[in-house]
Amino acid sequence: LPAGLSQWFPALEVLDVSGTGLAELGAELLALPRLHTLLAKNNRLGGPGSLPKGLGQAPLGRSLRVLNFSGNRFAEVPPALLGLRGLQSLSLGGNRLHGIPPDIQELRSLEFLYLGGNFITSIPPELANLPSLSYLVLCDNKIQSIPPQLAQLHSLRSLSLHNNLLTYLPREILNLVHLEELSLRGNPLVVRFVRDLTYNPPSLQELAGRTIKTRNVPYAPSDLPENLVRYLSLASNCPNPKCGGVYFDSCVRQIKFVDFCGKYRLPLMHYLCSPECSSPCSSASQSSTSQSESDSEDEASVAARRMQKVLLG
C-alpha cells in the first residue's frame, strides 16, 4: 500500500485491494479512522507480518465493520482480527484454515461469518456465544459433527453446511426456530452410519447408579462422597417409553428420523440406555410405540416446520 494513504484520503470509508497480489498490509491502514469496509480478496496474505501490528488498538480497529480476506493463505484465523470488537462481517473463505479458535466468541458484534472452502474439522462450542450471528457459512470443509450448543444462536437465519462429512445432526438443531435456510447437500448424513455406531458396556459404577435411580433407593448427600452424589445427579432418562431406565456415560447412539418441513426426514442423534431399547425406535418410518413418544415427535415436527426454506437438493 502506498505510504501516506491516510494523509491523502483521511475520510476513506471503503477500500478494495482485491486481486492485487498483496502479501502484506502496511501500517498506513491503522490511521484511517473512518474506514469501515476492507476488501482484500484473492491475494497472498497469510504469512508472518501480513497484517499490521496493533490492529485492534488503532482507529481502524474501532471503525472496521466489514472485512473480507477470502482467497488468501491464512492457516489460522489471525489473532489480530479477534480484537476487532465492532466487526459485523468476516469472510475467510478459501484459505487454509484447519480450525476455528474458541476466542471467536470475542467478536460479539459479528452478524455474518464465512469460513467455507477450508480444512476445518470441528466447530468450537464457543461459536454459540455470538448473540447477533445471523449467517454462518461452513460449507466445503471436513466437519464431522455439529455441537448442540449451536442451538443457542437464536439470531441465526442461514446455516450452510453442504459438502462436509456430517452423518447426523443433533436434535437441538430444531430449536433454531428463526432459521430460514439450511444447506446440507453433499454430506453422508444417512449413508453407512448405522454400522458405525458402537455401544460400550456400562461400568460397575454406572450399573450401581442405574440400580439406585431405577429402584428409587433413598439416599442423602451425607450418605455418599460428594463425587458420587454429583454423579447420581447426572442420570439421563431413556427416551424409550417402555423402558423407564436411566444411563450415565454408557449409552446407545442411534439415528432417529424426524419430519422436517413436511417433506424431508432429517437424521437426528438419539440416545438409549441399552441395545435392547433400540428395537421400538429403529425404523425410520414406523409409528411411535406410545402416545408420549408420538407427542414428542409432533413437537419436533412443529418446531422444524417453522424453518421456511431448506436447501437439501
One domain, residues 36 and 170: yes
Predicted confidence (pLDDT) per residue in 58-85, tens digit: 878 889 999 999 999 999 999 999 989 8
One domain, residues 80 and 224: no
pLDDT at 293: 36
One domain, residues 234 and 177: no
β-partners of residue 309 are: 181
Residues 6 or more apart in contact with residue 302 via CB below 8 angstroms? none
One domain, residues 183 and 214: no
Indicate whether 257 belongs to any domain. no
Indicate whether 209 belongs to any domain. yes
One domain, residues 226 and 153: no
One domain, residues 149 and 205: no
- How many angstroms separate the CA atoms of 308 and 182, rounded? 9
pTM of the predicted protein model: 0.66
One domain, residues 96 and 227: no
pLDDT at 257: 64
The residue out of 194, 224, 246 marking a domain boundary is 194
One domain, residues 218 and 72: no
The residue out of 164, 179, 194 marking a domain boundary is 194
Q: Which three cell numbers stand for residue 114?
A: 464465512
Indicate whether 90 belongs to any domain. yes
Q: CB neighbours (10 Å) of residue 55?
A: 21
Q: What is the pLDDT along the chain (313 residues), one digit of tens a residue?
A: 444 455 566 778 899 999 999 999 888 888 788 899 999 999 999 999 899 888 877 878 889 999 999 999 999 999 999 989 899 999 999 999 999 999 999 999 999 999 999 999 999 999 999 999 999 999 999 999 999 999 999 999 999 999 999 988 888 888 888 888 888 888 887 555 544 556 778 898 988 999 998 889 998 988 888 899 899 999 998 888 788 889 888 887 776 666 555 445 567 777 888 877 764 333 332 223 233 333 433 433 433 343 333 333 3
Q: Which domain holds residue 232?
A: 200-238
Q: Counting Cβ atoms within 10 Å, is residue 299 exposed (0-12), middle (13-18) or buried (19+)?
A: exposed
Indicate whether 303 belongs to any domain. no
Residues 6 or more apart in contact with residue 235 via CB below 8 angstroms? 209, 210, 213, 246, 247, 248
Distances (CA, A) of 241 to 66, 111, 230: 51, 41, 26
One domain, residues 54 and 157: yes
pLDDT at 189: 75
pLDDT at 88: 97
CATH of the domain at 22: 3.80.10.10
Indicate whether 259 belongs to any domain. no
Q: Which residue is it, cell 475520510?
A: 11
Q: Which three cell numbers stand for residue 172?
A: 437441538
Given a contact cutoff of 8 angstroms between Cβ atoms, the answer to whether 181 and 159 are in contact is yes
Q: Which three cell numbers stand for residue 187?
A: 454430506
One domain, residues 182 and 229: no
**How many domains is the chain built from?**
2
One domain, residues 146 and 92: yes
One domain, residues 177 and 210: no
- How many angstroms separate the CA atoms of 94 and 70, rounded? 6
pLDDT at 9: 66
pLDDT at 249: 86
Indicate whether 56 belongs to any domain. yes
Residues 6 or more apart in contact with residue 311 via CB below 8 angstroms? 162, 181, 182, 183, 184, 185
Backbone phi, psi, residue 82, to 5°: -75, -5
Q: CB neighbours (10 Å) of residue 29?
A: 23
Indicate whether 67 belongs to any domain. yes
Indicate whether 260 belongs to any domain. no
